[in-house]
Structure 1
């Protein structure tokens, strides 16, 4: 006889899964990767360590879920901000501002997820590559539209999009690793304008 889960059971399981994910995010925002364990996550979530394995195979699977959740939140926020503009230049700048605000708001979590963990886990490193390629693809769409409108010089938009995302990522990582710049507003604007000039926009 097959046991069919009731809606109440499913809801309880979903709530517990979200609780585990929330606990992982909180711990990752506070501690170095080496100090994060399934036991600490389970304690934070208020469950037994054995219960953890009913929801996630291992710590890496949970971290993968956290990464995807953060990326989905980032995309949602980017889409929301971009709807305020019709100009592709403004849309690109809005995208960068959203990323800056998110990564600097949760610096330690960003450091763990962007730098520490990918270096130690090839599967998650591949995950980051997929996400980065997705951002490059979205940037290329904006650049292609700008090119069609003769608003930027003739260029290989795939190369430009790759450089655009890569430069932005490296500067963000530098801030995460070495601390937010003293003149943050000036530094943020400098990064944004540097990337915009790189695709051919004049200020």
Structure 2
């Protein structure tokens, strides 16, 4: 008779994978991508080293899974924050504030994801490009709606969205590389206002 996975077993497997990914986030943040070993992640997760290979074939796959989880967290935080925003201006503001808040809480891990690996591995670079693309699409929809309702002047929505995301991304990189601004959250207000003015919103 063929083995059928029960709901209880499935839940246990999901919980084990979640523990592995949570441990991996901590270890990658502490030791960087190259300094992290599967053995150390397993120790932190409280599982055997071989258990990780049941879920993920190597360290690269483990890191990719961690990155996916981080990026999905950013997207979900933005979606959650936007639900409580009224009007296009407030939605754009909520989007940026949510993204800044999500990244600001995990600086060391953000360094690993955005600085150490995104440019050195094509697969990780594609993950980052996908995130930025999804954010740009969201912003572009808001820009189009703002133009249609006369809130901002006519403009190329795709270029405007790319510029909007670009300023945000470069401030994040400056924060990670140079420590300026000292707090990403402190930069949220000025950055949001700069971008909104650039789109043509009135103060």
Q: TM-score range by the shorter chain?
A: over 0.9
- CA displacement at 1:90 relative to structure 2: 0.8
Please give the secondary structure, in 1, of the residue aligned with 2:202: coil
Change (3 A) 1:80 1:35: same
Aligned counterparts of 2:64 and 2:187: Cα–Cα separation in 1: 31
Aligned counterparts of 2:195 and 2:172: Cα–Cα separation in 1: 13
Matched, 1:79 2:79: yes
Aligned counterparts of 2:112 and 2:198: Cα–Cα separation in 1: 29
Change (3 A) 1:186 1:112: closer
- CA displacement at 1:37 relative to structure 2: 1.4
Which runs of 5 or more residues in structure 2 are unaligned? none
RMSD value, Cα = 1.7
- CA displacement at 1:184 relative to structure 2: 6.4
- CA displacement at 1:183 relative to structure 2: 7.6
Matched, 1:158 2:155: no
TM-score normalized by the length of structure 1? 0.93
Question: Structure 1 segments of 4 or more deviating over 6 A?
Answer: none
Q: Which moved more, 1:74-83 or 1:134-143?
A: 74-83
Aligned counterparts of 1:186 and 1:15: Cα–Cα separation in 2: 36
Matched with 2:137 is 137
Change (3 A) 1:67 1:186: closer
Aligned counterparts of 2:2 and 2:180: Cα–Cα separation in 1: 55
> Does the aligned pair in 2 maintain the 1:104–1:176 contact within 8 Å?
no
Which runs of 5 or more residues in structure 1 are unaligned? none
Deviations 1:130-189 (A, max 9, x none): 111111111100000000001111100000001111111111111122225258666332
- CA displacement at 1:4 relative to structure 2: 1.8
TM-score normalized by the length of structure 2? 0.93
Q: How many pairs does the alignment contain? A: 203
